[in-house]
Amino acid sequence: MKLPFFLLALTTIAASAATRPYGLVIHGGAGVIERAALSPEREAEYRARLADALNAGYAVLESGGTSLDAVTAAINIMEDSPLFNAGKGAVFNADGICELDASIMDGRTQAAGAVAGVHHIKNPINLARDVMLKSAHVMMVGDGAEKFARSLGYEMMPNEYFQTDWRRQQLKKAQEKDGKERTAAQPGDYFTRTLRWGTVGCVALDKTGNLAAGTSTGGMTNKKFGRVGDAPIIGAGTYASNATCAVSATGWGEFFIRVGVARDIAAQMEYRGTPLRAAVAASLAKVARLGGDGGVIALDAQGNVAMEFNTPGMYRAAKLSGQPAVIAIYGDEAKP
């Protein structure tokens, strides 16, 4: 039987839509995460919260929502959880307060938004998204970013909302060790490395084939002088383009900025056709050669997933259509 052309075309589109993968990958930070240091109860909490974030994002995609909405939904859950270094539960800066950064990028339009150094925004990823969608700018910092938030009717949270006791303890320890690490050339010891834990991020691919990426963080414990890491830097911590991939990074931000990790991964795909996972590995190797460490999640338009890190562990999870969900923490678990 020969179908009329328009029916044939419809059939092809329907088949392609039916088989087109969608899904998301999330991370809750890379670092020195080892079984010995994590109690079974605490580990179960992390896995539960990662599952919540994954399911929230996946539900958006399954019901036909956009990758941008999925990224926001998943990150909001991790921002609201005290377990992760983003939103509530963020690390303390040297002045004893939580100071938050976030960025987001739309792979379809390459529109992007970022905020850095905000103190009163419950969900910084939402403000980054509003910078992208409701201003002519890409990046806003400090009081100015919060002034913009107020103009949009955001509730201003007291900084105490973000503060938790265990992060305050981390600050205390960090300040006792302060001054030991002077330059970017010094790799830092085991303890100072752990100060950089816990950024959260999400990359998503929706049913229409659009990619998006987002990252949210409190930065590093005891950070001084208005330090900004890679999380709010488009091209370093976050990048998305439908032509290549969506990337969110976590780790020692200074090195991720110097390599331009997120943009570097996309560039390898764009300019020499490197497959996603190999591109991620090559960029992380560059970070390592400079003396840094961390992890990356990435997703391309074909549904290929990367969850790579050169630290002992990374809180991570992935759910792609038609495949079982994966939730993992340690280095010896699956990197799906």
Please identify, among the stretches 39-47, 175-183, 295-303, 327-335, the one whose residues bind a copy of itself according to the rule CB under 8 A.
Answer: 175-183
Where does residue 290 fall: left (phi above 0), alpha (psi -120 to 50 degrees), or beta otherwise?
A: alpha
Residue 291: CB minimum distance to a copy of itself, A:
11
Single residue of 112, 204, 231, 276 touching a copy of itself by CB under 8 A: 112
Please identify, among the stretches 18-26, 60-68, 110-118, 168-176, the one whose residues bind a copy of itself according to the rule CB under 8 A.
Answer: 110-118
* 204-233 binders of a copy of itself (CB under 8 A): 223-229, 233
Kindly report the number of other CB atoms within 10 A of residue 42's CB atom: 11
Single residue of 35, 42, 134, 172 touching a copy of itself by CB under 8 A: 134
When the beta carbons of 34 and 178 are compared against a copy of itself, the nearer one is: 178
* 297-336 binders of a copy of itself (CB under 8 A): none
Single residue of 138, 157, 281, 325 touching a copy of itself by CB under 8 A: 138
When the beta carbons of 61 and 296 are compared against a copy of itself, the nearer one is: 296
**E strands along 80-150, which residues?**
100-106, 112-118, 139-141
Tokens of 272: 């020499």
Residue 239 makes contact with a copy of itself by CB under 8 A: yes
Residue 69 makes contact with a copy of itself by CB under 8 A: no
When the beta carbons of 126 and 274 are compared against a copy of itself, the nearer one is: 274
| Nearest one of 310, 94, 111 to 211, comparing CA atoms | 111
When the beta carbons of 38 and 111 are compared against a copy of itself, the nearer one is: 111
Residue 141 makes contact with a copy of itself by CB under 8 A: yes
| Nearest one of 219, 200, 216, 214 to 111, comparing CA atoms | 214
The one-letter code for the residue type at 22 is: Y
Angle between helices 124-134 and 67-80 (to 10 degrees): 150
Q: How far apart are CA 83 and CA 91, in angstroms?
A: 11
Query: 63: burial class by Cβ within 10 Å (0-12, 13-18, 19+)?
Result: exposed
Within 8 A by CB and 6+ apart from 269, the residues are 244, 245, 275, 276, 279, 300
Question: Are residues 91 and 167 in contact, defined by beta-carbon separation less than 8 angstroms?
Answer: yes
Kindly report the number of other CB atoms within 10 A of residue 145's CB atom: 28
Q: How far apart are CA 20 and CA 263, in angstroms?
A: 25
Residue 191: CB minimum distance to a copy of itself, A:
14
Please list the active-site residues: 199
Residue 142 makes contact with a copy of itself by CB under 8 A: yes
Residue 251 makes contact with a copy of itself by CB under 8 A: no
Residue 190: CB minimum distance to a copy of itself, A:
16
Residue 154: CB minimum distance to a copy of itself, A:
12
Single residue of 1, 18, 36, 136 touching a copy of itself by CB under 8 A: 136
Give me the residues that bind a copy of itself (CB under 8 A), please.
105, 110-112, 116-117, 132-145, 147-148, 181-186, 223-229, 233-236, 239, 253-254, 257-260, 263-264, 267-268, 270-272, 274, 290
